[in-house]
Structure 1
């Protein structure tokens, strides 16, 4: 954000909303943000084309339902293009989506400090707490936008390459296309909510350094580390406490009836991470000596 935008956005009775609007516009106009969204939108295209080519000779993809985990949705894409939405979200959630969120959140404070605009934000009547909340709100908005980009891209490609209609749930029951579309939207919202823990972690890391690149790299590095830890059987005792452990629980929304246990655990865990690292970011930022 430029100094003029910063000061201008903080004038008048609606300065808080002006600051948020200015931050949202600045974030979503960056070429880096647009490039991240472009990459995310391209994943469903690649998956859809790969499935179309693989099945064009009559062969099948995957081995059937496979217990309902996210990637098993790929076996159903040729029957109903709506399953491409579920497959694309399952493919991007372990790395691509959280990496993009980590880049945006990690750059939130450190990027301003590196650019020399952070002091202007604090000179304006924003206050450190409101500024931090604005940055986190922007990161959460990106979580939603990134997830919807994947879902909309997948739905578009699925409609172009495969038939649409009633679909079969993991439990074997049939539901109408309208209900399936509603569940796809709900799944996208759950996936977006699954990323708020990563956003809070990235924001906290961003308050620890004045280098945006260092903050982004550290956040992505922590993400990869947690993913590795979650795959080590000997560490099963800590798995339920890792923010990525219940990410693929969104597949339970495709059961009839819906299994809510892991979904609630996932959302509760994300809320816990958001509270802990959000509080840590606030404690660090309010006590930080701003020199840039």
Structure 2
């Protein structure tokens, strides 16, 4: 054997083109590459799991039923209209009916749905004893919580936009397609009203980020889904009660949900950007702080307890 042939043989064995050692290393490399390429618990998988749950179906079912229930309730009363409240103008047309539905649900129904989507995410896995298996899959805790957070945010945004859109259709069929008239006597034509309504829904969705953060944090602290959902709703109720105490002065501005009605400013003749910006600012502050705490705690949580 010539020296060059010997060097070639040693090189072949080292590169794994021949010999058992090279084959094993090649197999290990392929397995390692496959592990790096694997993406357990994709967001679309988590989305499918969330959509398939009964609480999601019941939540959106109630959301879609609300405008129909209100039309039925209005049909039981007299036909009088006019006044200085959203409810007094709800039967003036589809535009006014959509605004009234948003007004009636932004502080309660949508809050409950946001708390349900975020607060039930982690405790439900714990109660089904599937949380530990997800993390052994392997799925990192940060990725698991992120997938649930993204699905909760997406579901909440969908609910915030779906309600006024569906109410607009139901109200238009029931009461006609008259343009929007505000309680103070101003009006908006359709070309101006529709973007304003979309802005109002966006303000409501951003305002619900703080509810999602609070519910997610409470959900990582206990294994009871109802405790997480109820705890988040309770926080908003207590904050609303404190908001009525005038002795707190400007401290009330920093309470959760203080600017829950800021979306109404989107329908004013001149958009009230100051209230809208303050609403977004405080909601994002509460949301970021509580979500960061949820990640910090969940990374240290004993899932075997």
TM above 0.5: yes
Q: CA deviation at 1:73?
A: 2.3
Q: CA deviation at 1:234?
A: 2.9
Aligned match of 1:68: none
Aligned match of 2:236: 223
Counterpart mapping for 1:178-197 below 5 A: 178-197=191-210
3-state SS in 1 of match to 2:91: coil
Match of 2:172 among 151, 159, 166: 159
Aligned match of 1:275: 288
- TM-score using structure 2 length: 0.81
Aligned match of 1:5: none
Q: Call closer, same or farther: CA 1:89–1:11 in 2, change over 3 Å.
A: farther
The answer to which of 26-35 and 201-210 deviates more is 26-35
CA displacement, residues 213-254 of structure 1 (integer Å, 9 cap, x when unaligned): 322222222222222222233334431112211011111111
Q: Using the alignment, how far apart are the partners of 1:264 and 1:171 within structure 2?
A: 23
Structure 2 residue 102 is the aligned partner of structure 1 residue 78: no
Number of aligned residues:
272
Q: Using the alignment, how far apart are the partners of 2:154 and 2:278 within structure 1?
A: 22
Q: Using the alignment, how far apart are the partners of 2:55 and 2:36 within structure 1?
A: 31
The answer to which of 277-286 and 110-119 deviates more is 110-119
Q: CA deviation at 1:193?
A: 1.4
The answer to which of 175-184 and 90-99 deviates more is 175-184
Counterpart mapping for 1:232-271 below 5 A: 232-271=245-284
Any stretches of 5+ residues in structure 2 without a counterpart? 1-33
Q: CA deviation at 1:147?
A: 1.7
Note if contact 2:86-2:182 (Cα within 8 Å) is conserved in structure 1: no
Q: CA deviation at 1:264?
A: 0.3
- TM-score using structure 1 length: 0.85
Aligned match of 1:67: none
Q: CA deviation at 1:40?
A: 2.1
Q: CA deviation at 1:211?
A: 2.1
Aligned-CA RMSD value: 2.3
Aligned match of 1:7: none
Aligned match of 2:39: 15
Note if contact 1:107-1:213 (Cα within 8 Å) is conserved in structure 2: yes
Structure 2 residue 38 is the aligned partner of structure 1 residue 25: no
The answer to which of 258-267 and 232-241 deviates more is 232-241
Q: CA deviation at 1:158?
A: 0.5
Aligned match of 1:290: 303
